[in-house]
Amino acid sequence: MKNKIFTLFLLMLSILCVSNIHAQTETTYQLPDVEAIRPSDDSITIDQLIKELPESASIDNPLLFLVNRDNLLEYDPYIPFVYSENGQPYHEAMAAPLAEMRAAAAEVGYYYNFISGYRSIAEQAFNYESRFNSYLYEGYSEADAQYMTDQYVAPSNGSEHTTGLAVDLLGAEFGYELYVSYQYEPSAQWLAENAHHYGFILRYLEGKTDITKINFEPWHFRYVGVEHAEFIHKYGLVLEEYIALIQERDNRQKLNQN
């Protein structure tokens, strides 16, 4: 009996220790300065944006997991996979919303090729190296080849495709090649105007390259959940700006508590 009590005590102690470690560990990101945030309506102030933030918006929300050149992965995260019609893996969290969005698009005549979902760090390294070498083959210097590669290809441990929550979609009429001119296709415009209703955001907006460090990509969508996507779309933000607002709100609340 004493052994059982002692074992139960140790189990409870270990749970408490893990809980304390989790409580003391906060998600931290390198983010743009809050004053650099640019909503689509420039008459809206930062204070107004913070006031309008969803109450549930949390920097620790796994759907808002930020990966970019300033916030690199140390290892491939665990992801519960599902698979697209052509065998591409992606995070199960966006399976139902993605299917719903594609079904809604099909009702108005738009069908999409699933170009890319999850990529491991190793796969992203291969993509980066391949693009870099293709520019070298075309005669560009190493410096120019790296500059041009960086415009559209994230470093090996800096791609949000590795979260499994990003998806590249192209209208079936456009094929499988990723060209910025896709933005003019009606299927691309439908996605840009409707994806937020299903929890997706157009991740790399035109005019926000200084923040995202990636050029405009009309095919790249990121799942963040409906509530967050609606806010991000409404105010013309990118994910970095949204998380910076959440962090600023949290910092202000901590100051007020003190």
Average pLDDT of each block of 10 consecutive residues along the chain (258 residues)?
39 36 61 97 97 97 98 97 98 99 99 98 97 96 95 95 99 97 98 99 97 97 99 99 98 90
Q: Give the pLDDT of residue 257.
A: 86
Residues 107 and 172 in one domain: yes
Q: What are phi and psi of 222, to 5 degrees?
A: -125, 130
Q: Which of 217, 240, 241, 248 is catalytic?
A: 217
Q: Is residue 76 part of a domain?
A: yes
Other CB atoms within 10 Å distance of the CB of residue 230: 16
The terminus-to-terminus CA distance of the chain in angstroms comes to 47
Residues 144 and 206 in one domain: yes
Residues 57 and 179 in one domain: no
What CATH number is associated with residue 165? 3.30.1380.10
Q: How far apart (Å, rounded) are the C-alpha atoms in residues 232 and 152?
A: 22
Q: Is residue 9 part of a domain?
A: no
Q: Give the pLDDT of residue 2.
A: 40
Residues 206 and 87 in one domain: yes
Residues 166 and 80 in one domain: yes
User: How many domains would you assign to the chain?
Assistant: 2
Q: Is residue 2 part of a domain?
A: no
Query: 12-38: buried (b, 16+ CB within 10 Å) or exposed (e) per residue?
Result: eeeeeeeeeeeeeeeeebebbebeebb
Residues 37 and 162 in one domain: no
Residues 195 and 110 in one domain: yes
Q: Give the pLDDT of residue 44.
A: 97
Residues 164 and 236 in one domain: no
Q: Confirm whether 217 is a catalytic residue.
A: yes
Q: Is residue 17 part of a domain?
A: no
Residues 43 and 126 in one domain: no
Q: How far apart (Å, rounded) are the C-alpha atoms in residues 205 and 175?
A: 22
Q: Let me know the angle formed at the C-alpha of 46 by 63 and 193, rounded to the nearest 5 degrees.
A: 50
Q: Is residue 143 part of a domain?
A: yes
- Assign 258 to helix, strand or coil: coil
- Structural element, H or E, at residue 132: helix 121-137
Cβ–Cβ under 8 Å, residues 191 and 169: yes
Q: Which two tokens stand for residue 95?
A: 């399976």
State which residues form the domain around 79: 65-223
Q: Give the pLDDT of residue 10.
A: 34
**Which phi-psi region, left, alpha or beta, contains residue 31 (left: φ > 0; alpha: ψ -120 to 50)?**
beta
Q: Is residue 15 part of a domain?
A: no
Q: Which two tokens stand for residue 193?
A: 């105007």
Q: How far is the CA of 198 from the CAs of 82, 103, 122, 166, 202, in angstroms?
A: 18, 11, 30, 14, 12
Residues 170 and 155 in one domain: yes
Q: Is residue 16 part of a domain?
A: no
Residues 35 and 118 in one domain: no
The model carries a pTM of: 0.88
- Structural element, H or E, at residue 89: strand 89-91
Q: What are phi and psi of 115, to 5 degrees?
A: -85, -45
Residues 151 and 165 in one domain: yes
